[in-house]
A and B are shown apart, each in its own frame.
Chain A
Amino acid sequence: MDFGFTEEQEKLRKEVKDYFINELPSDYKTGVFPCSEELVAFLREVESKLGKKGWIAPGWPKEYGGLNLGEIERDIIREESGYWDIFWPDVIGIMMAGPALYLFGTEEQKKRFLPAIAKGEAIWLECFTEPNAGTDEGSMELRAVADGDDYVFNGQKCFITTQPIKPDYLYTEARTLDIEPKHRGLTLFLIPADTPGITYNPLPAMDNRLTSEIFFEDARVPKEYMIGELNRGFYHAMTTLEFERANTGVPARLKHELHEFIQFCRETKRNGKPLIDDPYVRDTLADIAVRIEVLRLALWRTSWRFSERERLGPLDYDLGGLNGKEIVAPMYEAMMNILGLYGQLKTGSKWAQLAGSIERKWEVSRSTHPEGTIEALKIVLAGRGLGLPRRR
């Protein structure tokens, strides 16, 4: 057993940590979804600086803009940027499309698309969910039909996370074959976002997040934009998710929020006494600290286990995802309880505590669906993790 890191790894951690401390503005705030153009521009600036350092996709070879580092090192960088809740405007390129291209793309695709992702110069959207296909990816109906040198797309996606910045590519899964079981007829594509025939309809969501419906009407895309093998899209997407399971940034972000909240409880008096002296508050804060630690270890276990896949075989189970999704709601509910009446105030109110950030995070903690619902993770855990029988 070794719960520590090598000297080299500690050096890397310190370098990343120092970088953020020195680089991020002193009035920087975490947990803010970038809804202003200025803020997005600033985040893009951070992203491209990190890209230059190779910290966006450190696991990729240098020729694709990475540093050729191992998973543990990658997850150390993720943990340190997670502490600052670095909101990657191109989170989809970094966490999904890029890894899929890296694993399954052609050499030409990799050379063309990966460096831009690694440098923080592209914006990707993930186009998977449809009105009739959420958790059940196999039911996708967006159709891609081969026509000469192209594929022609017709259909619709929905709930696609969109940002106040123009996307470059859509990382898309579409139906290429009618077959039972249905998930054997899906294929991955990358689609230029400004392809004629594609239209966007905004669907505002809670916490001022924005998702979109995306419509495809005879949108034509050259065949070389297919990712991986025809009709293997479902499997490719699953494998890609596996590579991104160890999101060590989550507990780090939660720890930052706990740090801020503890400071707030020290500095805020209720009934003439600092909040931090209240036994309920103390018990609650300690409980949150315990849960974060359990989550942190679960994710590091996944990271380590994944990094040893050649020796130990494919990842057996991951409990980081489940814990990461389940910790947030109770955590912010508890913080809201401590804020009492103040908890209902939104950012911008003169009386808002901590600039209304707890309320915002409480709102977002209702959304555990992206990248698979809690129930979807449980299906994987029951089957692959515990070997329980499946319904057919």
Chain B
Amino acid sequence: MDFTLSEEQEMLKKMARDFLESNCPESFVREMERDEKGYSPDLWHKIAELGWQGLIFPEKYGGAEGSFMDLAVLYEEMGRAMFPSPHLSTVVLGGLTILAAGNEEQKAELLPKITNGDVKLSLALTEPSASWDADGVAVRATADGDDYIIDGTKLFVHDAHIADYLLCVTRTKNGTVPEDGITLFLVDAKSPGISYTMLKTIDGSNKQSEVVFNKVRVPKKNMVGNLNGGWAPLARVLQQGAVMQCAEMVGAGQKVLEITVDYAKTRVQFGNPIGIYQWIQDHCIYLLNYVDGSRWVTYQAAWKLSENLPYDLEVAIAKAWTSDAYEKACWRAHQVLAGVGFTIERGLLPLFTTRAKVQQLYLGDSAYHRKKIAKLIENWSPEISKGKPRGLWEKGEPWGEKDLKIWPWVQDRKFRPKV
């Protein structure tokens, strides 16, 4: 058991915090909400120099071979600063899929470019079915000579508007189970036949698009992984992404907690700092509880990923808990910050709150992950003890009866009730 970060992780954390505090202040976050791209190419290259895109990749692709735990530390800081960037799309959802399923040529071509900031990816998975499962994938890819032709609509695609490549999840076969028949393609984002429409969402920073593929031609060599076998590697990456999304929420939640507690200590009403009132304390305590609980379920999941231990349950628990906990944490903060917390230009809280909703939904909301958990625990049974039976629990009556005669020592003379 150890609930601390390693020395290197503490250094990474501090480095990331310092960098983001000077390069990603509140004004920048607000500016990027209004910005068409929604991120700064300049900063994107700066963080590449710091090694953020390459942190998780093997050395031979220019990476630092960091662990998921290291990456989680970075995501926590990015979440705290609300850093607008296509990191999750490019590095985790895109890059790690290529690392897991791509051939050597694809890896050697793309991963170094991701690492140095020259390539951005976007995962085109969800569709109007709004499902994170394979059965939601209807966009077709049909073989045609040396190409495949992709046809259909992808929806809620994060960072599609700035990506160099879309990692498109397609259906190439109607298998007996929905997972069978999914194939991944790396599609040049500027291919003829692709059209983009930016969605107007609650959160201006996580830019999402509708992406329509109108008979888009993709060379066969752009297939990532096996024909019809794309779901298995993608599903693992979705889990890794979910943990990073949790880490972002943990960092953001921590900041919301700090803002709220500071406010409770300094805002005076009725002659007292409001933090003296127990109702305000209650909000702060639950806020702490939501953030702290999220931190440990998230770190545990990241640790399992890092250590290559079975992680299905821990990942689902992390996302199921953290998604809702973070939303509730923001709600508590709003109660304490009252008027100030609700006004857009005065404080950070509205920015956190709107992001909370998007992060809660992205890569599966709580109900979605609870479904996964149910599947994983439905065969649980208690341990069975094997000693000689004693028959002490079979008779229902002793504890069905309130007769104090069963308390002989109380009847004892010395212990006679006072009358």
In the complex, which residue of chain B has the Cβ closest to the Cβ of A349? B396
Q: Among the interface residues B378, B404, B412, B416, which one has the most CB atoms of the partner chain A within 10 A?
A: B378
In the complex, which residue of chain A has the Cβ closest to the Cβ of B261? A386
Q: Among the interface residues A23, A36, A84, which one has the most CB atoms of the partner chain B within 10 A?
A: A36
Q: Are B400 and A348 in contact (CB under 8 A)?
A: yes
Q: Which residues of B contact A208 (CB under 8 A)?
A: 399-402
Q: Are B378 and A347 in contact (CB under 8 A)?
A: no
Q: Are A259 and B384 in contact (CB under 8 A)?
A: no
Q: Are B275 and A389 in contact (CB under 8 A)?
A: yes
Question: In the complex, A304→B281 CA distance in Å?
Answer: 26
Q: Are B377 and A286 in contact (CB under 8 A)?
A: yes
Q: Which residues of B contact A162 (CB under 8 A)?
A: 407, 410
Evaluate whether A389 and B293 lie within 8 angstroms (CB atoms) in the complex, with A3-B303, A23-B387, A262-B378 already known.
no
Partner of A378, one of B285, B389, B401, B409: B285
**B365-399 interface code vs A (CB 8 A; 1 in, 0 out):** 00100110110011111111111111111111111
**A21-39 interface code vs B (CB 8 A; 1 in, 0 out):** 1111111110011011111
Q: Are B418 and A201 in contact (CB under 8 A)?
A: yes
B182 to chain A, nearest CB (A): 25
Q: How large is the interface on A (under 10, 10 to 19, 20 to 34, 35 or more residues)?
A: 35 or more
Q: Which of B1-9, B117-125, B149-157, B159-167 lines the interface with chain A?
A: B1-9
B31: Cβ under 8 A from any A Cβ = no
Q: Which residues of A contact B395 (CB under 8 A)?
A: 36
Partner of B385, one of A28, A39, A199: A28
Evaluate whether A39 and B392 lie within 8 angstroms (CB atoms) in the complex, with A266-B378, A381-B285 already known.
yes
Q: Are A35 and B1 in contact (CB under 8 A)?
A: no
Question: In the complex, A282→B372 CA distance in Å?
Answer: 10
Q: Which residues of A contact B300 (CB under 8 A)?
A: 3, 297
Q: Which residues of A contact B3 (CB under 8 A)?
A: 1, 300-301, 304-305
Q: Which residues of B contact A360 (CB under 8 A)?
A: 399
Partner of A286, one of B299, B374, B415: B374
Q: Which residues of A contact B302 (CB under 8 A)?
A: 1
Q: Are A389 and B272 in contact (CB under 8 A)?
A: yes
Evaluate whether A199 and B416 lie within 8 angstroms (CB atoms) in the complex, with A35-B399, A165-B409, A303-B1 already known.
yes
In the complex, which residue of chain A has the Cβ closest to the Cβ of B282? A378
Q: Are B289 and A319 in contact (CB under 8 A)?
A: yes
A346: Cβ under 8 A from any B Cβ = yes
Q: Which of A55-63, A224-232, A288-296 lines the interface with chain B?
A: A288-296
Q: Which residues of B contact A4 (CB under 8 A)?
A: 1, 307
A388: Cβ under 8 A from any B Cβ = yes
Question: In the complex, A294→B297 CA distance in Å?
Answer: 7
Q: Which residues of A contact B1 (CB under 8 A)?
A: 2-5, 72, 300, 303-304
Q: Are A382 and B281 in contact (CB under 8 A)?
A: yes
Q: Which residues of A contact B383 (CB under 8 A)?
A: 17, 21, 83, 256, 259
**73-128 of chain B: CB within 8 A of chain A:** none
Q: Are B289 and A382 in contact (CB under 8 A)?
A: no
A283: Cβ under 8 A from any B Cβ = yes
Question: In the complex, A153→B25 CA distance in Å?
Answer: 65
B273: Cβ under 8 A from any A Cβ = yes
A202: Cβ under 8 A from any B Cβ = yes
B296: Cβ under 8 A from any A Cβ = yes
In the complex, which residue of chain B has the Cβ closest to the Cβ of A258? B380
**225-256 of chain A: CB within 8 A of chain B:** 256
Question: In the complex, A386→B280 CA distance in Å?
Answer: 12
**B253-293 interface code vs A (CB 8 A; 1 in, 0 out):** 00000000100110000001101101011101100110011
B339: Cβ under 8 A from any A Cβ = no
Q: Which residues of B contact A29 (CB under 8 A)?
A: 393
In the complex, which residue of chain A has the Cβ closest to the Cβ of B306? A1
B145: Cβ under 8 A from any A Cβ = no
Q: Are B399 and A36 in contact (CB under 8 A)?
A: yes
B321: Cβ under 8 A from any A Cβ = yes
Question: In the complex, A282→B367 CA distance in Å?
Answer: 10
**B230-260 interface code vs A (CB 8 A; 1 in, 0 out):** 0000000000000000000000000000000
A42: Cβ under 8 A from any B Cβ = yes
Question: In the complex, A375→B385 CA distance in Å?
Answer: 38
Q: Are B406 and A36 in contact (CB under 8 A)?
A: yes
**B296-316 interface code vs A (CB 8 A; 1 in, 0 out):** 110110111001000000000
A276: Cβ under 8 A from any B Cβ = yes
Question: In the complex, A24→B389 CA distance in Å?
Answer: 8
B6 to chain A, nearest CB (A): 8
Question: In the complex, A326→B384 CA distance in Å?
Answer: 28
Question: In the complex, A304→B1 CA distance in Å?
Answer: 7
B69: Cβ under 8 A from any A Cβ = yes
A116: Cβ under 8 A from any B Cβ = no
Q: Which residues of B contact A25 (CB under 8 A)?
A: 385, 387-390, 392
Q: Are A26 and B293 in contact (CB under 8 A)?
A: no
Question: In the complex, A200→B264 CA distance in Å?
Answer: 47
User: Can you name 29 A-B pairs with beta carbons within 8 Å?
Assistant: A1-B302, A1-B303, A2-B2, A21-B385, A25-B388, A26-B385, A27-B389, A27-B393, A28-B390, A36-B398, A42-B390, A162-B410, A164-B409, A166-B415, A202-B407, A208-B400, A210-B404, A282-B370, A282-B371, A286-B371, A286-B373, A289-B373, A290-B320, A290-B321, A300-B3, A301-B296, A317-B288, A323-B289, A378-B282
Contacts A22-B387, A348-B396 supplied; 15 other A-B pairs, CB < 8 Å: A25-B388, A35-B401, A162-B407, A165-B409, A166-B412, A212-B410, A262-B379, A282-B371, A286-B377, A297-B300, A298-B296, A303-B1, A352-B396, A355-B393, A386-B284
Counting from the closest, the 8 A-B pairs by CB-CB distance are A348-B396, A24-B385, A36-B398, A286-B370, A282-B374, A286-B373, A297-B296, A166-B409
